[in-house]
Amino acid sequence: AQKVTQAQTEISVVEKEDVTLDCVYETRDTTYYLFWYKQPPSGELVFLIRRNSFDEQNEISGRYSWNFQKSTSSFNFTITASQVVDSAVYFCALGGSSNTGKLIFGQGTTLQVKP
Amino acid sequence: DTAVSQTPKYLVTQMGNDKSIKCEQNLGHDTMYWYKQDSKKFLKIMFSYNNKELIINETVPNRFSPKSPDKAHLNLHINSLELGDSAVYFCASSQAQIANTGELFFGEGSRLTVL
């Protein structure tokens, strides 16, 4: 079965703190893809990153970084020096060959960054 | 120029009515989707079309009927609206036939409220 778990429902931090959003996934596929999406208060869904299962290199993009560990089936997302504009709901998602084209989303983590 | 556009953005209606939400993408993508986001922010796929052909049909009541007149458009018609249909409906498109391998581009969402 395909499943994505984001155990943190809500996180609140003060500006400039670092914060890590956890994502744990379950899949039987040997080839799969992991995604992070951001949903700011305005409501749209914004793509942040896609990672293939055969590429375990961590990725950094500005203040954002992602840690992919197949051994623990995790794809965690860290925001360094958080800013108020980072306040949003963040979704982790899984796509694989067995789910014929659909992304399975986690429950989402609401991040509130206070000034 | 908006890549994926949905209309209307807000829809308030009475139980039992029939309503439609329209979606258009100008990205030249072959695949389009409808996702439903409930009050707890949970995102779940409803339908997917590839080149006007239905490829994903989740367990959705028959009252929901998607229609794709061409690959740039995917409309959602809902008959006999119920209170539980209240949600935000997102249209999305992707370049890859299977969403797993490509980024999903989302519309801004259509918030449906059934009274």
A30 has a pLDDT exceeding 90: no
| A45 to B88: CB separation less than 8 angstroms, yes or no | no
A10 touches chain B (CB under 8 A): no
Integer Cα distance of B91 and B96 in angstroms: 16
- Position A98 scores a pLDDT of 58
User: What average pLDDT does range A61-83 have in this prediction?
Assistant: 95
Which of B31, B38, B43 would best serve as a mutation to test chain A binding (most A beta carbons within 10 A)? B43
Q: B111 is written with which tokens? A: 């918030």
Q: How far is B106 from chain A (nearest CA, A)?
A: 6
User: What average pLDDT does range A31-47 have in this prediction?
Assistant: 92
Q: Which residues of chain B have pLDDT under 50?
A: none
Q: Which residue of B has its CA nearest to A98?
A: B100
Single out the residue of A36, A9, A93, A27 nearest to residue B45, CA to CA: A93
Q: Of residues A81 and A51, which shows the higher confidence score?
A: A81
**In the 8-state DSSP scheme, what is residue A99?**
G
Each residue's pLDDT tens digit, B62-81: 999 999 999 899 999 999 99
- Position A90 scores a pLDDT of 98
